[in-house]
Structure 1
Amino acid sequence: MGLFNINKLTNNLADYIDTKVELVKLDTQEQIIKAVIVMFELLIVVVIVTIVMVFLNLTLAYYLNSVLGGSYIGFMIVAGVHLMLLALLWLKKRAIRRGFEHTMYQMITQTEKKDSNEKERKQQPKRLPE
């Protein structure tokens, strides 16, 4: 009788471990899907902002050309400003990367907190109105 209980216990333990592994896999997949969705939304915003910036920069370059009376000086000024911004971004790339990593970490942990709060709310018994 004791051997039967040990076999049953080991089978139950194996089933429990398999269930936990599946749960971790599903949670990981959910987190990856949420991260991909956030990245896709960010990509859409970046593309739209880039298009707007291109047109604004062209407008500024043509305006500077008309004000300064040249045919290319406005484009050179705008290009110079962009080169300075690029150099600044290059110098600050570590800080930018750290900020981005921090933001992504906060988004993931915030999502986990929301999910755990929703699970707790679902597990609590509903109160009947008095």
Structure 2
Amino acid sequence: MTNTDNPNDNSRPGKPADMISNLMGYIDTRIDLIRLDIQNKMKAGFVGILHAIMLGFTAFMALIFLNIFLGLMLNDLLDSQFWGFGILTAFYIVLFLIFFFGLDKKTFQGVADKTFENTIYKNDKTAK
């Protein structure tokens, strides 16, 4: 009897134990790839959030100093110590009232829908 005729031979390819071992290795590899993908997306998200915070802070500071400049300039033009800042305050109160009472949330919902359309399942749609 030759070595290939032995039914108890463990060197045969395609043995169920080998297939299960290969399948488990494949699953472990897929899990590792998913973990790496999640880690990369978390890093990209962190960088994006940090970048947005820094841009927002810089824009906020520029807006504050611009308003101080405009208030002082209006004070000088009106030859007053407080009317320039009063006019700017009134402008921002009117702007606040327009946003609070005049604009519906649906206006902003349309902007959000356009901005975030096809972002979550973007990779799935391009893969097909």
TM-score by length of 2: 0.66
1:54 CA displacement: 0.9
* Structure 1 stretches lacking a partner, 5+ long: 117-130
Task: Say which of 13, 37, 42 aligns to 2:52.
Answer: 42
| Runs of 4 or more above 6 Å deviation | none
Relative CO higher for 1 or 2, CA cutoff 8 Å, sep ≥ 6? 1
1:87 CA displacement: 4.4
Aligned to 2:73: 63
Q: Could you tell which deviates more after superposition, 91-100 or 47-56?
A: 91-100
The alignment of Structure 1 onto Structure 2 pairs a total of residues equal to 110
Aligned to 2:42: 32
CA distance in 2, matches of 1:65, 1:53: 18
Please give the residue correspondences for 1:2-13 in structure 2 after superposition, counting only pairs within 5 Å: 5-13=15-23
1:8 CA displacement: 1.1
1:70 CA displacement: 2.7
* Structure 2 stretches lacking a partner, 5+ long: 1-6
CA distance in 1, matches of 2:36, 2:93: 45
Please give the residue correspondences for 1:91-110 in structure 2 after superposition, counting only pairs within 5 Å: 91=103, 95=108, 98=112, 102=116, 105=119
Question: 1:53 aligned to 2:63?
Answer: yes
CA RMSD after TM alignment: 3.4
1:59 CA displacement: 0.6
Residues 93, 87 of structure 1: CA spacing in aligned structure 2 closer, same or farther, 3 A cutoff?
A: farther
1:89 CA displacement: 5.0
Residues 88, 9 of structure 1: CA spacing in aligned structure 2 closer, same or farther, 3 A cutoff?
A: farther
Residues 50, 84 of structure 1: CA spacing in aligned structure 2 closer, same or farther, 3 A cutoff?
A: same
The letter of the residue matching 1:25 is R
Amino-acid identity (%): 21
CA distance in 2, matches of 1:59, 1:99: 37
The letter of the residue matching 1:24 is I
Aligned to 2:33: 23
